[in-house]
Structure 1
Amino acid sequence: MTIQSTGYNTANTNRAGMGTGPVLASSTLNGENVRNASGEDLGEIKDLMIDTASGTIQYAVLSFGGWLGMGDKLFAVPWNSMRLDTENHCLVLDVLKDRLKDAPGFDKDHWPDFADTTFTNRISSYYH
């Protein structure tokens, strides 16, 4: 992850890493490693889901499991459940690896309807 040379103002950021610091291209986060607070590898960011009405990131699509990209399970993780760790160049999701394995997920051929309130409520309650 490359942050602009102006630095990243972590003192003025919220849990999702948004604040008064420099902006990032969404492509910068694709492929970014995700770890939990214990440092366990939870996978990597495959995509970001953006609310077209507000222009804000609502979910990061996290790829976890599988081998060499095959058999990965995908998870929609609320963006506000993650934080950007610029020191270790990763995103941090405060969830145990075993809990993530049991999280509601999907595969690359069967994406959920992110506009479905039943889906979004289920995801939100799982991670908060």
Structure 2
Amino acid sequence: MQIDNETHSLISSDKVEDTKVYNASGEKLGSIDSLMINKREGNVAYAVMSFGGFLGMGEKYHPLPWDQLNYNEDDDGYVVNLTKDQLAGGPTIEKQELNRLTDPVYGREIYNYYGSPIYWG
């Protein structure tokens, strides 16, 4: 299903996927691959950012707590206040490990690394 409209505060998940992610210096870090949503609370737990690789080979994924992403209309993308080194040192998974994204222990690791409020999963 494709939803063309969005409001000032709401956006369809399919419009978030593939949105670019930049650091504060304007350097592209990757793009949003998917969102992990707490199905009981109805909140986005974290965005999964993909980066690296070529034609799907060697691509890695960084789950980022949703509160780390700030939408920038001028860039039509999300900005994180992180350096490449901070991102590289954070939780990272490869395609064959994507099932870890539903593990509450891993979710807490993600939130702890970025200093975000306690993970509720």
Shorter-chain TM-score bucket reads: 0.7 to 0.9
Q: 1:48 aligns with which of 35, 43, 52?
A: 35
Q: 2:102 aligns with which of 111, 114, 126?
A: 114
Q: Distance in 2 between matches of 1:43 and 1:68?
A: 14
Secondary structure at the residue paired with 2:95? coil
Supply the RMSD in Å over aligned alpha carbons: 1.7
Structure 1 or 2: larger strand share?
2
Q: 1:96 aligns with which of 69, 83, 90?
A: 83
Instruction: Identify the range of structure 1 (102-111 vs 38-47) with the bigger mean alpha-carbon deviation.
Output: 102-111
TM-score normalized by the length of structure 2: 0.82
Q: Distance in 1 between matches of 2:109 and 2:93?
A: 14
Gaps of 5+ in 2: 116-121
Q: CA deviation at 1:89?
A: 0.1
Find the counterpart in structure 1 of residue 26 from structure 2.
39
Q: CA deviation at 1:3?
A: 6.4
Q: CA deviation at 1:49?
A: 0.5
Segments of 4+ moved more than 6 angstroms: none
Find the counterpart in structure 2 of residue 11 from structure 1.
none
Q: Distance in 2 between matches of 1:99 and 1:82?
A: 14
Find the counterpart in structure 2 of residue 76 from structure 1.
63
Q: CA deviation at 1:88?
A: 1.2
Q: Distance in 2 between matches of 1:3 and 1:87?
A: 18
Find the counterpart in structure 2 of residue 30 from structure 1.
17
Q: Distance in 2 between matches of 1:97 and 1:77?
A: 13
3 and 97 in structure 1: CA distance in 2 versus 1, 3 angstrom threshold: farther
TM-score normalized by the length of structure 1: 0.78
Instruction: Identify the range of structure 1 (103-112 vs 45-54) with the bigger mean alpha-carbon deviation.
Output: 103-112
1:40–1:97 Cα contact (<8 Å) kept: no
Secondary structure at the residue paired with 2:113? helix
Code of the residue aligned with 1:102 in structure 2: it is G
